[in-house]
């Protein structure tokens, strides 16, 4: 059974295991990954009830997770929204594609429930073209450089 739910502190062990594999594949010398650093950040985000911090579970096992934070799309705009900071999945192929789309759909519904204007997501990983293509098919609008947006009914320009 698949379920998307809010993450809790007791989920961090699985999350760190999943993320350690992903971060080690895409480690950046300028911003090196450490488990301690990730755990410190995750605890801070868990305490911030304004964040979208949810995981996709299959048979009780964490297989993907997303963290998004509230903010403005641009400093010069009053349009409010949420921007994805992390999306990680341990799935590949068709299952990975479904996880990406399902978690993003849940994220968008969350932004709508909060009556915010826009949801923003992006990928800087080498497979960002697949990320953009899959989410474009699911209603997201590519805005360049692996970034996509989706406006809610609360957006001032929504028709």
| pLDDT (0 to 100) of residue 128 | 80
| pLDDT confidence tier of residue 26, bands split at 50, 70 and 90 | low
Specify the CATH number of the domain 2-151: 3.40.630.30
**95-102: long-range pairs with CB below 8 Å, 24+:** 97/134, 99/56, 99/63, 99/64, 100/64, 100/131, 100/134, 100/135, 101/134, 101/135, 101/138, 102/2, 102/4, 102/56
| Per-residue model confidence as pLDDT tens digits over 130-154 | 899 999 999 999 987 778 888 887 7
| pLDDT (0 to 100) of residue 110 | 95
| pLDDT (0 to 100) of residue 2 | 92
| pLDDT (0 to 100) of residue 73 | 66
| Per-residue model confidence as pLDDT tens digits over 33-65 | 788 888 888 888 888 878 999 999 999 999 999
Mean pLDDT confidence for 11-15: 91
CA 103 vs CA 63, 64, 66, 97, 117: distances in Å: 11, 8, 7, 10, 19
Q: Within 13 Å, how many C-alpha atoms sit on residue 130's CB side?
A: 10
| pLDDT (0 to 100) of residue 158 | 66
The answer on pLDDT for 84 being more than 70 is yes
Domain ranges for the chain, please list them: 2-151
């Amino acid at each position: 059974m698949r379920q998307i739910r809010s993450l809790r502190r007791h989920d961090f062990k699985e999350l760190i295991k999943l993320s350690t594999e992903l971060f080690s594949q895409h480690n950046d010398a300028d911003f090196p990954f450490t488990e301690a650093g990730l755990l410190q950040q995750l605890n801070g985000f868990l305490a911030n009830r304004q964040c979208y911090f949810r995981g996709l579970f299959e048979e009780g096992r964490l297989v993907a997770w997303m963290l998004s934070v509230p903010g403005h799309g641009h400093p010069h705009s009053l349009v409010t929204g949420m921007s994805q900071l992390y999306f990680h999945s341990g799935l590949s192929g068709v299952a990975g594609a479904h996880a990406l789309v399902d978690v993003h759909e849940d994220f968008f519904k969350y932004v709508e429930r909060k009556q915010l204007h826009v949801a923003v997501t992006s990928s800087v990983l080498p497979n960002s073209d697949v990320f953009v293509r899959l989410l474009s098919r699911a209603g997201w609008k590519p805005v360049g450089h692996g970034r996509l947006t989706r406006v809610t009914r609360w957006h001032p320009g929504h028709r």
